[in-house]
Amino acid sequence: MIVRPKPGLLQLFFIMRGSIVPRILPQILGFAAFAAAVVALVRHFNIELSGFTIAPFGLLGVTLSIYLGFRNNAAYDRWWEARKLWGQLVYDIRNLSRAATGLIANRSDHRALLMDSLAFCHLLRGQLRKVDSLNEARAFIGDAVDDVAFTNRADEMVRRMGKRAATLRENGTLDSIGYRILDERLSAIAAMQAGCERIAGTPLPFAYTLLLHRTAYVVCLLLPFGLATSAGWVTPLFTALIAYTFFGLDALSEELEDPFGTEANDLALDALCRVCEISVYEALGEPPPAMLAAENFFYS
């Protein structure tokens, strides 16, 4: 996630960190070069294109804008829902820490339960990003992480916390009301995980992407023929701007569609896991780790 102050006028045109320009630069330059070639051919061979106007492209542009707007809104909804789910996880971890502090008198049992919750955060992050997060989880539960040999390691950590709560009830440390309170906290954490898995496992229909790409390419390929006579050598600039708009919105939608990745505009899951760590260690009365700092305006 990019976090930076509002850029000035000059910075606005040269900022690359967090911009989608590097990603779509081949399309921008390619269509600009194609438009320049069309203008050169029209002028060299005196090809008559006065009958071609940009009126049809206005209709195509409106249609494409509707498609792009729908896809961009759908992608942003996924991104924002994912952010709300991870915000809910921070809330649930704090609630679990508060409840465990009041209900579990034994320091060892109390700490073990909360360390499991931090291991869950990192295992879920690794699962969503498709990266290995066992070393991060090992920092909280030690070699016990090697026993979590399940397909869904994060879900196993929830079961592990549930078993701890059940053991505390069986040995009389927790009464039925206390057990119910902890179980409700764990149920909320499991619901958050299921919501993230739903987003990660259900991409937007491929037909939308295919339709947008086809239409954008057709518009940018035909546009130089409509502008070559009236705009002359300014045609490449107009074509590049149109390509930047269409393919830029499309590329941004693709980034937002998968909010759990590590691209510039994805969620800062590492930082959110650190927020959970700080909350747990403070609840335990132990020195918390420092908040992660942005690296070149980027939170991972």
Q: Where are the domains of the chain?
A: 22-284
Instruction: Walk along the chain (300 residues) and give the pLDDT tens digit of each residue.
Output: 777 767 766 666 667 777 788 889 999 999 999 999 999 988 888 887 777 777 777 777 777 788 888 888 999 999 999 999 999 999 999 999 999 999 999 999 999 999 999 999 999 999 999 999 999 999 999 988 888 778 899 999 999 999 999 999 999 889 999 999 999 999 999 999 999 999 999 998 888 888 888 888 888 888 888 888 888 899 999 999 989 988 988 888 888 999 999 888 899 999 999 999 999 999 999 999 999 887 776 777
Question: Per DSSP, what are the bridge partners of residue 2?
Answer: 298
Q: State the pLDDT at residue 89.
A: 97
Q: Closest Cα partner for 290 from 138, 281, 94, 269?
A: 281
One-letter amino acid identity for 195?
Answer: G
Give long-range contacts, CB 8 A cutoff, 24+ apart: 44-47: none
Q: State the pLDDT at residue 11.
A: 65
What is the pTM (predicted TM-score) of this model? 0.90
Q: Closest Cα partner for 103 from 174, 189, 171?
A: 174
Tokens representing residue 193 in the block: 């995980």
Q: State the pLDDT at residue 167.
A: 95
Q: State the pLDDT at residue 193.
A: 97
Q: Closest Cα partner for 49 from 34, 37, 39?
A: 39
Q: State the pLDDT at residue 63.
A: 78
Tokens representing residue 19 in the block: 């911009």
Q: Closest Cα partner for 74 from 258, 211, 216?
A: 258
C-alpha to C-alpha distance for 20 and 251, rounded to whole angstroms: 7
Q: State the pLDDT at residue 61.
A: 75
Sequence-distant (≥ 6) Cβ neighbours of residue 3 within 8 angstroms? 294, 297, 298, 299
Whether 97 contacts 279, CB under 8 Å: yes
DSSP state of 144: G
Q: State the pLDDT at residue 12.
A: 62
Residues in the chain: 300
